[in-house]
Chains A and B, each alone.
Chain A
Amino acid sequence: MTKKSLNEASNVGKLGFSFRRHLHEKFIEFILFLSATLSIAIMLAIIAMLLKESWVFFQQVSLWDFLTDTQWTPLFDDAHYGILPLVSGTVVSSLIALLVALPLGTIIAVYLSEFAPFTVREMAKPFLELLGGVPTVVYGYFALLFVTPLLQIIFPELPGFSLLSAGLVMGIMIIPYVSSMTEDAMRAVPMNLREGSYAMGATRFQTAIRVVMPAAFSGIAAAYILGISRAVGETMVVAIAAGMQPNLTWNPMEPAATITAYIVQVSLGDLPHGSIGYQTIFAAGLTLLILTLIFNIIGHVLRKKYREIY
Chain B
Amino acid sequence: MSNINNLDEIRKIINQQRRWDLAFTVAGVIALMIAVLTFIVLFAHMLIDGAPRLSWDFFSSFPSRRPEMAGILSAWVGTTLVMIVTALSAVPLGIGAGVYLEEYAAKNLLTEIIEINISNLAGVPSIIYGLLALGLFVYQLGFGQSILAAGLALALLILPVVIVATREAIRAIPVAIREGAYALGATKWQTVIDHLLPYSSAGILTGIIIGLARAIGETAPVITIGALTFIAFLPPSPIKNEFPFLSFEWLMAPFTVMPIQMFNWVSRPEEAFQLNAAAAGLVLVVMTLAMNGLAIYLRYRMRKTIKW
Contact = CB atoms under 8 A, between A and B. Distances in A.
Interface in A39-61: 39-40, 42-43, 45-46, 49-50, 52-53
A141 B132 contact: no
A136 B223 contact: no
B259 interface: yes
Q: Which 9 A-B pairs have the closest CB atoms?
A: A233-B125, A111-B28, A135-B217, A35-B96, A32-B100, A235-B220, A133-B292, A49-B135, A36-B100
A91 interface: no
Contacts, number: 260
A267 interface: yes
B135 A53 contact: yes
A25 interface: yes
A142 interface: yes
A138 B281 contact: yes
9 contacts: A25-B187, A35-B100, A50-B131, A111-B31, A133-B214, A135-B284, A203-B20, A268-B229, A281-B224
A40 B117 CA distance: 6
B259 A137 contact: yes
Contacts of B187: 21, 24-25
Interface of A: 21, 24-25, 28-29, 31-40, 42-43, 45-46, 49-50, 52-53, 104, 107-108, 110-112, 115-116, 124, 126-131, 133-142, 144-146, 172, 175-176, 179, 203-206, 208, 226, 229, 232-236, 239-240, 260, 263-264, 267-268, 270, 273, 281-282, 285, 288-289, 292-293, 295-296, 300
Contact of B120 (A28, A129, A273, A296): A296
B35 A135 contact: no
B150 interface: no
A233 B285 contact: no
B124 interface: yes
A227 B128 CA distance: 17
A288 B125 contact: yes
A133 to B, nearest CB: 4
A226 B123 contact: yes
Contacts of B123: 226, 229, 292, 295-296
Please classify how large the interface on chain B is, using the bins under 10, 10 to 19, 20 to 34, 35 or more: 35 or more
B131 A236 contact: no
Contacts of A141: 46, 262, 266, 277-278, 281
A236 B288 contact: no
Interface string B159-203: 110010000000000000000000000011100000000000000
B296 interface: yes
B7 interface: no
Among A39, A126, A142, chain B packs the most CB atoms within 10 A around the CB of A39
Contact of A32 (B17, B97, B224): B97
Interface of B: 17-18, 20-21, 24-25, 27-29, 31-32, 34-36, 38-39, 41-42, 45-46, 49, 92-94, 96-97, 99-101, 104-105, 113-114, 116-121, 123-132, 134-136, 139, 156, 159-160, 163, 187-189, 210, 213-214, 216-220, 223-226, 229, 259, 262-263, 266-267, 274, 277-278, 281, 284-285, 288-289, 291-293, 296, 300
A282 B133 CA distance: 12
A62 B39 CA distance: 46
A234 B116 CA distance: 22
Contacts of A52: 135
Contact of B17 (A21, A108, A115, A203): A203
Given A108-B31, A115-B25, A43 B117 contact: yes
A235 B127 contact: yes
A229 B125 contact: yes
Contact of B262 (A24, A112, A138): A138
Contacts of A226: 123
A209 B267 CA distance: 45
B186 to A, nearest CB: 11
A40 B34 contact: no
B292 A111 contact: no
A268 B127 CA distance: 13
Given A35-B93, A43-B117, A204 B21 contact: yes
Contact of A145 (B45, B188, B216): B45
A124 B92 CA distance: 33
Contact of A134 (B18, B39, B49, B160): B39
A130 B293 contact: yes
B46 A138 contact: yes
Nearest to B16: A203
Given A137-B259, A233-B127, A203 B21 contact: yes
Contact of B121 (A42, A270, A273): A42
Given A134-B285, A134-B289, A206-B17, 7 more contacts: A36-B96, A39-B163, A115-B24, A140-B266, A142-B42, A233-B126, A295-B123
Nearest to A269: B226
A133 B160 CA distance: 16
Contacts of B156: 42
Contact of A133 (B24, B92, B96, B289): B289
Contacts of B188: 25, 29
Contact of A49 (B34, B132, B262): B132
